[in-house]
Structure 1
């Protein structure tokens, strides 16, 4: 009769009941014929050869042919169980990687499909927030604002660079240290600095992460959302903080992408007033029919106004629109929730005429 405690532990390692009983019996016997192990292990006669073949494939026993038939040998358990452990760990790691990849693809597809009706959740672990930040940056297609502590930027610098190379307009705010850190930034990204700031990453209107930097907070929670309106609010919030922070690096390369006319006008108002010519590619929808539209043309006029004259880089205007000459006529282009303009823009790509 085999030791029930040992057989139970072997079953916890993944062996079946019969495999566990036969292996313990083989170790106890040292060397035995299969029929002898039937009596020692209580494994049925009709199953013993299959069970021993399984144990041999695991490397736990050796089957040798002798003058009186097969003989079962049990090598030192320390050696064979260590080999078994390494194989099981390798196999488990491979399974975890495969499952993780499959679930990540499923998660990404689900999250992408959620669109404007996306989720809102809270995360308490920084590593969880960092994973979402990396994912948000990778999904950015048009406009990305990144306000992070210096140590976190060093972790996501490659993702930011990749976004810039995809043509995404990036604005970067570094914080968390007393003085601007000695870091290297991509040449095409404008960078600003302030010693203390909340952690905010907002990609287009699709993905937002917010973590408060309150000095009295002992544990930081992170809001994570794919709800379009909340991401839009985060975009405006961090843009205001960015505008009022110290400049570290300027960048003004074209073509440049924007989410709406407001930021384009704020950036280029002086040049537009001087008569500089810009082209723009617009993606969005007609405000009357809601049908999708993509158009190209030349900016011939703009309007930006509010109840009082102010800095519309910080304060939101009531109206911010472009007039675009497409060659077939002129259309007015507003932001993503425009109702009075001809087109509500979801993204704009700027170029020189």
Structure 2
């Protein structure tokens, strides 16, 4: 990545964190200078000089820039570590406010409580990973997780599974790769096995198996307390992950899916039998 590309990328990220374009450009320029005047900032950022003063006032108010009241005025950015810490703190407080605001909204009473079962879809690896961890966190009795690819393994997932084990939840984890099985077995109090569902992996793309359908790769299969079923698929070309999940299925379907997920695990080793 060239210096100009890094500059543009940093500006873009700061805008995603709530800064306006001129504010982001001024901060990035100042982060590369010991200190600078409005003219120097304008020359290096293409921000009009009169707008530099507006932008730096905002940056000062947000704790990202310091001002030396001399003639001419000098500006300097706080250290990168300090700026990141400040931005993180500001956004974490907004997340807390958002949670309080949304949770305080009155719930609609139009929901059909007589629905036999529900199936919903979800897209995006981050959202799917978060939902996986949430569902594991709600488990009271059993979690059965089959990994179609070790790419979905993360420290957050390990932590969720470890917390579930500490609560006394029975963990069963299936993988397609023996080295992954050994790693999970080492780190978790779980029944870990090599799944015989080798069609879960994508064809020749590093997902850990050969697939009969080159357009399909299962990311994860999850069943929680024999009530909730969660399945994600990964596009082998784009890497995009999509998922479907549901609750309230008939007992017969749950039993079938549970048996399918345990393929490769000896019945005598299955804590759920």
Name the TM-score, length of structure 2 as normaliser: 0.51
- Among 55, 69, 92, the alignment partner of 2:87 is 92
1:73 match: 71
Q: Which has the larger radius of gyration?
A: 1
Shift in Å at residue 214 of structure 1?
8.7
Per residue, is there more strand in 1 or in 2? 1
Distance in 1 between the 2:131 and 2:100 partners?
14
Task: Pick the structure with more helix per residue.
Answer: 2
CA displacement at 1:133 relative to structure 2: 0.7
Q: Give CA-to-partner distance per residue, 1:243-300, whole Å, 9 cap, x none.
A: 3214599475xxxxxxxxxx6xxx2xxxxxxxxxxxxxxxxxxxxxxxxxxxxxxxxx
Summarize the Cα distance change of 1:13–1:145 in structure 2 as closer, same or farther, 3 Å threshold.
Answer: same
Higher relative contact order (CA 8 A, sep 6+): 2
State the alpha-carbon separation in 2 of the partners of residues 246 and 10 from structure 1. Answer: 55
Residue of structure 1 in register with 2:224 after alignment = 203
Q: Confirm or deny that 1:129 pairs with 2:128.
A: yes
Tell me, what secondary structure is at the counterpart of 1:73?
coil
Q: Which runs of 5+ in 1 are unaligned?
A: 1-8, 15-25, 29-40, 42-50, 63-71, 253-262, 268-353
TM-score (norm 1): 0.41
The number of equivalent residue pairs is 194
Structure 1 equivalent of residue 144 of structure 2? 145
Q: How far does residue 216 in structure 1 lie from its aligned partner after superposition?
A: 9.4
Structure 1 segment 1-353 matched on structure 2, within 5 A:
12-13=22-23, 59-62=66-69, 72-77=70-75, 80=76, 82-83=77-78, 89-103=84-98, 120-148=119-147, 149-153=149-153, 155=155, 156-175=157-176, 177=177, 181-185=181-185, 188-194=189-195, 195-197=198-200, 198=218, 199-204=220-225, 207-212=228-233, 219-225=240-246, 227-229=247-249, 235-247=254-266, 250=269, 267=273
Q: Show structure 2 runs of 5+ residues with no match.
A: 1-18, 25-36, 40-49, 51-56, 201-217
